[in-house]
Structure 1
C-alpha cells in the first residue's frame, strides 16, 4: 500500500517518492481478433482491458497500436493495485498522482546499464543529440493519459465504469462547444489536464560529411543497401523491413512499401546508388529470392530446429547495426534520423513542392510536413547572422568631400555623421 501523509486540507496525500510499482502481470501475444492482451500473474486475461482492446481493434487499429495500448494499461493496472483502488472506482486523484509518479520514476530495465550509464541524459558532441534518460519522457506521459482516458470513455459509454472520467480535460474557461455555431467547425475540446508540456523538437539531420562517416563504417553490402534506400526515400524502418523481392521495380527504380499508419501500399522513388547496393547485396546472398520472399535477411545462418538457415531481418537486428556504427564513431544516430535527413533534403529542393514531400513521407496532413520539416538550416542562419555582425562592426568609409567644401567645417555642421 502507498504511504500517506496529511495535506493542508486535512485530506490524506500519497507519498509519491516512496512508491514502487510491482512487477505484476505482463503483455502477451494472443490468438484471435485481439493480437495482444494483458494477463495477471496467474496468466488469466484481464477482462476489462481485453474488452476495450477488442473495441480498439474493431476501429481498425494496427497490432502495433494494440500492443502499445496494452502496455500503458498494464502500467495503470499496477498503479491501481498499489493504490488499493478498483479500476471502476478511480477518481481524478489517481491519474493526478500517477502523472506525478511518472515524472520522477525510473523506468524498469531487464538488465542494468553498463557502458552507457555515464551518458544518460547527456548530449553527444558530434550529433548534438541527447542520449535517452532513465525516466519517462513527456510524450510517454501524454500517451499514457490519452490511453487511460480512452479506456474510461469506453466503459462510461457502456454504463459500467465510473460516473465521471477520472482523466479530465482542461475546460479552457468553459464547457467545450457549449454555444457552437453550426456553420463553424467544432473547436478542440482542450488538452488533458495533467499532460506535461512537450518541447518542440527540431528534425535531426545527418550533414553530408557525417553521413559519409556513417556509410563508411558499415560492414556489409546489405547494411549499405538498406541505409542508402532509407536516406533516399525517407521510408520508416518498419516499412523497409517489410519490403519483399517483388516490391522492387528495377526499371523505374521504385520500392513499394506498406505505410505504417494507413496500411496502404505506395511506390517510392529510390536513388540509383541504392539499387546498386541492393544488387551487390543480393549477389552476396548467393541464392535467388522468391517473389513473395522478404528482401532483407540476416547474414549469418542459424539453426532454428530445421537446420542452418537465414532469418528475416528484424528491428532489433537493425538496431544492432547502428550500435556498431555508433560505437565506432562515438555517435548516437538512429534509423529515424535517416528519414529526417531525406525529408530535409527534399524540402530544400526548389524543384519539389511541399505537397511532393508530404506524399513521399506518407503524412496524412500537409500541416505535419510543414510544421516539422519546413525549417531553416541552423548552420546557415548562424553564418548569415555572423556576416551581419561583421558588417555592423566594420567602420564605414567616410564619404568624399566635394570640391570647394572644407571637410572640417562639414564635420562640425553634421556632427560627425558624414
Structure 2
C-alpha cells in the first residue's frame, strides 16, 4: 500500500479503556503494572526490574509505571501489539495527549471552576485538565528508554518507535568553532516547553501563609523550606539524627543522587522545630522526624504514623483554601534561592551548592530579574510620571530685569 493511501487514525475519537492498574509489587521492584487478570505485565515488569537495578528511586519507578500503563492502554485502543509499535503510534499518542483531557477532569468538584485559570493572589496558573508539554516529553523519554532496553535484549521492534530528530548523518559534523553547538539528538515528537522564570513569594504573602499553619510541625517544615531551599521530599526524609542543634544544620539526602548534604537553617526554624519536638514522644536516632495522627476506622483512637507527601500537600491545600491562593512547597525553594542569589555576600557557586544543582547553568536562572520586581519598578516609574504631570507649573522667567536686583548686582555703579 502506498504511503499516502494509508488511512490516518481519528485521534480525537480514541478513548482509552480502564484496563490494568499500577500497584505495589513484591521483591525488589516497588511498583509494577498489572493487567485485567491482576498479573504483572512481563515486558514492563522486567524493564522496571532493570530500572531499579540502575539505582532509581521508588518514586521514579512509580512514575514510569503509570506512563507505561497509559502506553499499554493506548496500544490496546488502537489494536497494536507492544512489540509491533512504530513511530506512527508514538506520533498518534502525542497528538492524543495534546488534545485530550486528563482523567482527573472527571473527578474534579471544588477545583472544577478554577482549573486552568490564573490565581489572583499568586498570579500562578491553576493546574488545568490538559496534558502539559513536560508530560508529553516525559512520556516520550520513558517509552524511548523502555524500547532501548528491549532492543538491546534482542526483542521488541527492530527500530525504536520513539525516533530522534537528527540533522545530518553526524551531530555537529561541520561545527563552526566560533558558534555554540546546536542541540542534536532531541526526540522528534517532543513539544517545545515555554521558558518560565522562578518567582519569589512576596514577604506579605509568606507571612500570610505562615499564619495559616495550624501546628508547630507545619510551621517548622515551612520555615526550614524557606531558609534551606530543600525540596519537600528531602525535608520529609529527615530523621531524628539529621539535626545538628549546635551549628543549626540539617542533613538532607538529595533527590536523584541520594547524596547527603548538611544545610544551614535559620534560628527561627530551629525554634519551631524545638516546639514541635516537645509535643511528640522521644524519638530514636533512626526514627523519621515528621509524624501525624491518623484514624484507620471510625471510633478507633488515632495512632501516630509517618507524615507523607500527600499529607503535606493536604496541609497546604487547607491553607490555600483560607487564603484563596495556590502556593506550593516548591515556591518556598524558589523564594529562598532568589533571596540568596540577590545577596551580595553569597556567590553563585554558594547558591549552587545549597540548591544541590549539578551544573552552574541551572542556578543561573535565579540571576534573572523577577517579573514581580520588574512590574514594581515600572509601576513606580508610571507613578513618578503621574506626579510630574500633575505638579503645578513653574513660573516663567520675567521679561525684564528687576531694578532691585540690578542695584544689588551693580551697587557701586548705581551709587555713583
Q: Specify the alignment match of 2:185 in structure 1.
A: 190
Q: 1:8 to 1:170 in 2, by over 3 A?
A: closer
Aligned pairs for 1:276-355 within 5 A: 276-285=271-280, 287-299=281-293, 308-355=302-349
Cα pair 1:302 1:310 within 8 Å, conserved: no
Cα pair 2:199 2:370 within 8 Å, conserved: no
Cα pair 2:172 2:181 within 8 Å, conserved: no
Q: CA deviation at 1:316?
A: 1.1
Q: Specify the alignment match of 1:377 in structure 2.
A: 370
Cα pair 1:180 1:186 within 8 Å, conserved: no
Which runs of no fewer than 5 residues in structure 1 stay unpaired?
Answer: 1-6, 405-418
Q: Specify the alignment match of 1:412 in structure 2.
A: none
Aligned to 2:287, what secondary structure does the other structure show? coil
Q: CA deviation at 1:221?
A: 0.9
Aligned to 1:38, what secondary structure does the other structure show? strand
For the aligned residue pairs, the C-alpha RMSD in angstroms reads: 3.0
Q: CA deviation at 1:374?
A: 1.8
Q: Specify the alignment match of 2:194 in structure 1.
A: 199
Q: Specify the alignment match of 1:4 in structure 2.
A: none
Which runs of no fewer than 5 residues in structure 2 stay unpaired?
Answer: 402-416
Q: Distance in 1 between matches of 2:121 and 2:17?
A: 39
Q: Distance in 2 between matches of 1:226 and 1:386?
A: 35
Count of matched residue positions in the alignment of Structure 1 and Structure 2:
393
Q: Distance in 2 between matches of 1:220 and 1:308?
A: 17
Q: Specify the alignment match of 1:242 in structure 2.
A: 237
Q: Specify the alignment match of 1:65 in structure 2.
A: 60
Q: 1:291 to 1:178 in 2, by over 3 A?
A: closer
Q: Specify the alignment match of 1:40 in structure 2.
A: 35
Instruction: Write out per-residue CA displacement over residues 176-235 of structure 1, whole angstroms, 9 at most, x where no aligned residue.
Output: 338489x9x997532111111111112132110110001111111111111011111011
Tell me if 1:20 matches 2:15.
Answer: yes
Q: Specify the alignment match of 1:30 in structure 2.
A: 25
Cα pair 2:172 2:184 within 8 Å, conserved: no
Aligned to 1:9, what secondary structure does the other structure show? helix
For normalisation by structure 2, the TM-score amounts to: 0.87
Tell me if 1:161 matches 2:145.
Answer: no
Q: 1:49 to 1:157 in 2, by over 3 A?
A: same
Q: Distance in 1 between matches of 2:155 and 2:371?
A: 53
Aligned pairs for 1:35-184 within 5 A: 35-109=30-104, 112-172=107-167, 174-177=168-171, 179=173
Greater mean deviation of Cα atoms: 125-134 or 103-112: 103-112
Q: CA deviation at 1:109?
A: 3.0
Q: CA deviation at 1:31?
A: 2.1
Q: Specify the alignment match of 1:365 in structure 2.
A: 359
Structure number with greater CO (CA < 8 Å, separation at least 6) is: 2
